[in-house]
Amino acid sequence: MKPLYFLLIGFVFFAVSCDDIANKEKLVNAPGPDDSVFAVQQGPFHFSMKLPKRLVAENMPIILFKENTGDLVISLGENIYLKVSQQIKDLRVLANDLMTTDSEIYIIERVEQNGSEFVYKQVLPDNSFASYHYKAMISKTDLPYFIETDESRTYTKSEIDVIRMIAQSLAPL
């Protein structure tokens, strides 16, 4: 009888622990007082995301599905612009390619890299100009999404931090 009793207690403890983990995950993704939540349901893209209220108050976000490329473009004002696609890319390969590609104009510097995100900076040799960029594979949604900044635009580190926060907030609907 005692082994069955301990097995039952162990099962109840495991079930409560799993529920606690799920609730903590919900709390992490819960919007804060400074967030606005937007649901995206365009083309094959179905997710929610958090945007900073202060930026939404200044500029209504533009969320546009481009049928010709299959990409989703999210724009918030002039400086926050990111592209979401359903491509699956290996960020280590992309980062390696960027770091080993010779550019006659820019020096590429790795700012931060982990398994799912890569932040880098393009700098002129005389340090008179710098632009940050971001690439990420987000897989916590129903489908994995590749997110990147537009290479033809320039971004500050603080703008990349906002884009990164948006990308990390993606959650399935």
Question: Which range has highest mean pLDDT (42-51, 100-109, 137-146)?
Answer: 42-51
Give the number of other CB atoms < 10 A from CB of residue 18. Answer: 10
Tell me the domain boundaries of the chain. 1-30, 35-172
pLDDT for 140: 80
- 35-172 placed in CATH 3.40.1000: yes
Q: Is the pLDDT of residue 15 over 80?
A: no
pLDDT tens across 83-134, in order? 999 988 888 888 888 878 767 788 889 899 888 999 999 999 898 999 999 9
Q: Model's pTM, two decimal places?
A: 0.77
Rounded Cα gap, residues 73 and 14, in angstroms: 42
pLDDT tens across 60-78, in order? 999 999 999 999 999 998 8
pLDDT for 106: 84
Rounded Cα gap, residues 35 and 52, in angstroms: 5
SS3 173: coil
